[in-house]
Structure 1
Amino acid sequence: MTTFDDREQGFERKFALDQEQEFKATARRNRALGRWAAGLMGLEGRHADDYAQAVVRSEFKEAGDDDVLRKVFEDLKGSGVAVTESDVRMKMAEFMAQAREEAKAGK
């Protein structure tokens, strides 16, 4: 195996690790966003946990964050919570930054 092959495999491993960390961070972000929204809607205990899991599952409906944003925003609006899409986007960004740091730290 040549040095070039070793280097290529190193890049592939790094890419795979980065993708895995991003996947974990996204799931963690969605769980935190679900808990935040559940609190705003007055959900507690098992109901809050179930809602957070529903938000995590909503990520798999289509590519990107729009499905998660839409679910949380519509659920909050439907529950009578005065929130804008911008508020939800800001929380998503805040939770994503936290999640990425936690994923890097191996938490």
Structure 2
Amino acid sequence: MSQFEENDRSLEAQLANDEETLFRILARRNRLLGEWAAGLMGLSDVEGEAYSKDLVRADFEGGGGKDVTLKLLGDLTAAGVEIDEDRIREATREKLVEARRQLIG
């Protein structure tokens, strides 16, 4: 195997690892966001866990971060929580940092 082929395979492996890490970080961020929102809505632990899983699923079935923001905004508003997109975006950034710390160390 040439040095070029070896470098190419190494780069492919690193990219695959980076994609998996990003997937795990985003899933953890969404779970943390779900827990945060569940707390604001006054959901029980069981309901909060289910809501967090739904939020993770919604992100990966939908179009990503914007869909998560809109779902949170709709759900929180429907539950009578006074919130806006800016506060949700702020929480999303905070939970992303927390998720990275939890997974990467």
Deviating 4+ runs (over 3 angstroms): none
Structure 2, gaps ≥5 residues long: none
2:8 alignment partner in structure 1: 8
Partner SS state of residue 63, structure 2: coil
Q: For residues 15-54 of structure 1, what are the structure 2 equivalents within 5 Å?
A: 15-54=15-54
1:49-89 deviation line (CA, Å, top 9, x unaligned): 11111111111232321111111111001111011111001
CA displacement at 1:41 relative to structure 2: 0.3
Counterparts of 2:101 and 2:14, CA distance in 1: 17
Amino acid at match of 1:104: I
Matched, 1:68 2:77: no
CA displacement at 1:99 relative to structure 2: 1.2
Amino acid at match of 1:66: K
Amino acid at match of 2:44: E
Counterparts of 1:88 and 1:98, CA distance in 2: 15
Q: Relative to total residues, which structure has the larger helix share, 1 or 2?
A: 2
Measured on the aligned residues, the alpha-carbon RMSD in Å equals 1.0
Segment of structure 1 superposing worse, 55-64 or 76-85? 55-64
**How many residues end up aligned between the 2 structures?**
105
1:14-57 deviation line (CA, Å, top 9, x unaligned): 10010000000000000000000000000121011111111111
Tell me the TM-score normalized by structure 1.
Answer: 0.92
